[in-house]
Amino acid sequence: MPHYDIVIIGTGSGNSILDQRFADRKVAVVEKGVFGGTCLNVGCIPTKMFVHPADLAATPASAARLGVDETLDGVRWRDIRDRIFGRIDSIAAGGREYRIEHDDNANVTVYEGQGRFTGHKELTVELAGGPETITADRFVLAAGGRAVAPDVPGLAETGFHTSDTVMRIDELPRRLVILGSGFVAAEFAHVFSAFGVDVTLVARSGAMLRTEDDDVSRRYTELAAQRIDVRLNRTTTQARRTETGIALDLEGPGGAETVDGDLLLVATGRRSNADLLSVEATGVAVTRSGHVAVDEYQRTAVDGIYALGDLSSPAELKHVANHEARVVQHNLLHELGIEDSPVAADHRFVPHAVFGSPQIASVGLTERDAVAQGVAYVTATQDYGGIAYGWAMEDESHFAKLLADPSTGRLLGAHVIGPQAPTLIQPLIQAMSFDLDARSMARGQYWIHPAMPELIENALLNLPLD
């Protein structure tokens, strides 16, 4: 039974832990799928590579009112798809080749198969030639998550797609039904509708992106409904195949109805892969949400076993996984006597973005959160149309919204919906992270005029602070 100093399960952010400081350690890397993890292969990178051409394809729809007449001559789906995965697949293959063949990894053994814990610090990997069991002093659990589907009668038989598969289809469908209303649903609704697909989105709730601030969620839903068929407050009672594709039978405010499409995308969420690893067999605890339980140092309840990324973090964001990988790397080196003291992860202000149409970015408390937690706050909103650049764009739909502590002026939350939202929010994340109050941030620096960041400047100045 091979024994290792360190076993890393997963080659997403976990794969970044190893460097030359581990060269004198016997290490194993276990990967059940494609090297690179969710973000590289089926997540943030390929989706944004689809979003960019979708943004280009959508420009004719809004250009005419500004005096520019444009037409969309066509979308070469296979060219778009093949450009994207021609680049991504080679990176994934290169990462695998590096770990297996490069001299830098002479101390690393790669196991390609599903691993499951079968005892205390004992992992059995299902390899092509049969199972092999390995043990280690230390484990890093970084096996990510996976898309899940709701329990809808007939759904399993429909041949539906998830975000893992829909980006590799051969042809654009004429009609697409999306089941779900979160960020995955919003981004793919934008991509496919911009490419000329007739999109119907089915939401169980009364709004899209309902975890966003209520004002943002409400506005996004309104704007999405101008471009696609949005069905809110619907319960899916059955999914079935038809002669031309799929159908979902729904119950809604108006009674029973049916939506049809050539293709069905299920975008109802993701879950941790902790269950696939059978982590309980090695004594690792799992939270009610199914994530591996960790402390502030990314340590599980078992000495020497760490976890990071989507496996343990409900945020399920690549930038969180990368941060946690750096924490785990440092703390492993501390255990090995290379670093002086352990470090804790900083999850105080975790931002996220939705690259739909419009874009959204958020950090900190929503107004709903503040009310529920009994946090004192003041709020302010700044419309894009109220700044020079937004006025030039004739933007009448988008805004930034801030929440702040009325006594200190410290920001509690920030939410932007509109063009460049993920970029515009960054100085607000910085202010929150380094404890800069709203007045000092607004008045303590120049803001380029007439540039888009004036949206943030004016939102800060609008806060009713003493």
Q: Which residues are catalytic?
A: 449
Pairing mode of beta strands 270-272, 145-147: antiparallel
Between helix 183-194 and helix 44-58 the angle, nearest 10°, is 40
For residues 351 and 229, what is the distance between their CA atoms, to the nearest angstrom?
A: 29
Q: Which own/partner contact pairs does 247-252 have at CB distance under 8 Å and 24+ positions apart?
A: 248/177, 248/179, 248/202, 250/202
Residues contacting residue 272 through CB under 8 Å, at least 6 positions apart: 145, 286, 289, 290, 291, 292, 310, 311, 312
Per-residue H/E/C for 414-440: EEEECCCHHHHCHHHHHHHHCCCEHHH
Give SS3 for 118: strand
Q: Could you tell me how far CA 37 lies from the centroid of its own chain?
A: 13
Neighbours of 64 (CB within 10 A): 10
- Tokens encoding 236: 């899916």
Contact 142, 13 (CB under 8 A): yes
Q: What Å distances lie between residue 424 and 218, 338, 362, 462, CA to CA?
A: 21, 39, 10, 17
| Residue 125 main-chain phi, psi, to 5 deg | -110, 130
| Residue length of the chain | 466
Tell me how far apart the terminal alpha carbons of the chain are, to the nearest angstrom: 68
- Tokens encoding 396: 């009448």
Give SS3 for 299: strand
Q: Write the Ramachandran bin of 46: left for phi over 0, alpha for psi from -120 to 50, otherwise beta.
A: alpha
Pairing mode of beta strands 122-127, 255-261: unpaired
Summary count for the chain: helices (H), strands (E): 14, 21
Pairing mode of beta strands 175-179, 263-266: parallel
Q: Write the Ramachandran bin of 197: left for phi over 0, alpha for psi from -120 to 50, otherwise beta.
A: beta
For residues 447 and 452, what is the distance between their CA atoms, to the nearest angstrom?
A: 9
- Tokens encoding 247: 């159908």
